[in-house]
A and B are shown apart, each in its own frame.
Chain A
Amino acid sequence: MPDEEYQRLQQRNKAEVKELWDILDEVKDPEVPVLSIWDLGILRDVERNGNQVVVTITPTYSGCPAMDTITSDVETALNKAGYNEVVIKTILSPAWSSEWMSPQGRKNLREYGIAPSEDADLCEDGLTPEAHAQCPHCGSRNTRRISEFGSTACKALFQCNDCSEPFDYFKKI
């Protein structure tokens, strides 16, 4: 298990109020609804401070337009569970990394038709390669990049040469 993943799990398992983390599993990325904010790795901390719940999140990209929706969804989920005083903190450092995605998140992504970043061998400079990301539909590696920038900032667009389907690839960042 990578270090980062181990530390995240430790943090969650040692949490004072585990229930809070479980409640937030309901909050999904509005643009990729099979990923919870935990799976995506943007949920950084949840703390109980008296009656207050303090949730710390971090954006994937500087201009991620989903942050406002996510913020209000976090609030709604906690309110529904009876926590009425919710404070949401956004932090920038450490900068989000696609490495933070949970194993379950990667699996969900593939089933949803998006290749997680680990399904391609990156270029030397660590960026998206021109070909051979694994097709989430048929499993072929015979694929090519169509665009480095996909439907959202976090994705690139590929097409499979075997089954002809286009698919999104979650960029490594």
Chain B
Amino acid sequence: MSDAIKAATLEYVTRLGDDSLVLGHRISEWVSYAPFLEEDIAYANVALDYVGRARMFYTYAAELAADGRTEDDFAYMRSDRDYRNLLLLEMPRGDFAYSQIRQLFADVYYSLVLPELVKSKDERIAAVAAKAIKETKYHVRRSRDWVHRLGDGTEESHKRTQKAADQLWGYTHEMFDMDETEQLLADNGIGVDVSKLRDQWHKDVSAILTESTITVPEDSWAVRGGRTGYHTENLGHMLTELQIVHRSHPGCQW
């Protein structure tokens, strides 16, 4: 592996890990608050899939960095400016409709990214993707069913679902941005060219929203910055909660 590719791979794997951890943590915030017990358990399961995915990416990142850091250092010892996750994933939990719309946007995205990532020439990345792909099939079905149910549900649930779609739409554009790092990896068969996935994502998401009687939002405003460390204020608050135990009791094990 050339130095440039190695550095890019480390950055890329960290991004993928950050995406997984941040979304996994947001989902886990529903545990014990979900509308009913089965849904509570479902959320815990999905959160676990994402946190597990984060661990696999961070473990690999730590190996690539080879500077003595472990997966825990990646998760707990970096500040918000060091995180490279997509902004969509750090948005707060919101109400149930808001979380499910975000989940739909993310799940459909991963259902397109992972089948490409599984072809990566980097065996480690391909292996993580191969595991995640199976889990994502279940995730997409769940979020699709919920959006159907909420969108085509009561007047109130419809209203909230539409509002969530409108509020989150502007954060989805960033998912399909490419920068130098990702382009280098895509050119070398290691990363995915996400810019090519936008049309399919739009088609898939639009179909589900339309079936759910939700109007597909128009592309107007767009917010970006996650991949360069410019986050919304939400991430910092989330990280204080996620990191406080580890930072207050360094090296503690139980």
Shortest Cβ gap from A15 to chain B (Å)? 25
Contact call B52/A62, Cβ cutoff below 8 A: yes
> Chain A residues near B123 (CB, 8 Å)?
93
Which residues of B sit under 8 angstroms from A64, Cβ to Cβ?
48, 52
* Residue B128 CB within 8 A of the other chain: yes
Interface size class of B (residues with CB under 8 A): 20 to 34
Tell me the bound Cα distance from A130 to B89 in angstroms.
Answer: 30
A window 119-167: CB within 8 A of B: 125-128, 146-153, 157
Is the pair B53, A157 in contact by a Cβ cutoff of 8 Å?
Answer: no
Q: Which residues of B contact A88 (CB under 8 A)?
A: none
A100 partner residues in chain B, CB cutoff 8 A: none
Given A62-B131, A92-B127, also A149-B52 (CB < 8 A) = no
Minimum CB–CB distance from A173 to chain B (whole Å) comes to 5
Expressed in whole angstroms, the Cα–Cα distance for A2 and B47 within the complex equals 33
SS of A interface (majority): loop
Please name the residue on chain B nearest to A97 by beta carbon: B134
Q: Are B53 and A127 in contact, with the CB atoms below 8 A?
A: no
Q: A157-B38, A171-B138 are in contact. Are A63 and B126 (CB under 8 A)?
A: no
Interface on chain B toward A: helix, strand, loop, or mixed SS?
A: helix
Q: Is there contact, CB below 8 Å, between A148 and B52?
A: no
A148 touches B42 (CB 8 A): yes
Interface residues of B in 87-140 (CB under 8 A from A): 123-124, 126-128, 130-135, 137-138
Given known contacts A63-B48, A65-B48, A157-B38, A125 and B53 CB-to-CB distance under 8 angstroms: no
Q: Is the CB of A147 within 8 A of B42?
A: yes
Task: Check A93 against B49 for contact (C-beta < 8 Å).
Answer: no
Among B46, B52, B130, contact of A59 (Cβ-Cβ < 8 Å)? B52
Nearest B residue to A145, CB-CB: B38
Once bound together, how far apart are the Cα atoms of A158 and B22, in whole Å? 31
B166 to chain A, nearest CB (A): 28
Q: With contacts A63-B51, A64-B52 known, is A92 near B135, CB below 8 A?
A: no
Whether A94 pairs with B130 at a CB distance below 8 angstroms is: yes
A61, B38: Cα distance in complex, Å: 19
Identify B127's interface contact among A61, A95, A125, A152, CB under 8 A: A95
User: What are some 6 contacts across the A-B interface (CB < 8 A)?
Assistant: A59-B131, A63-B50, A92-B127, A93-B127, A146-B38, A149-B142
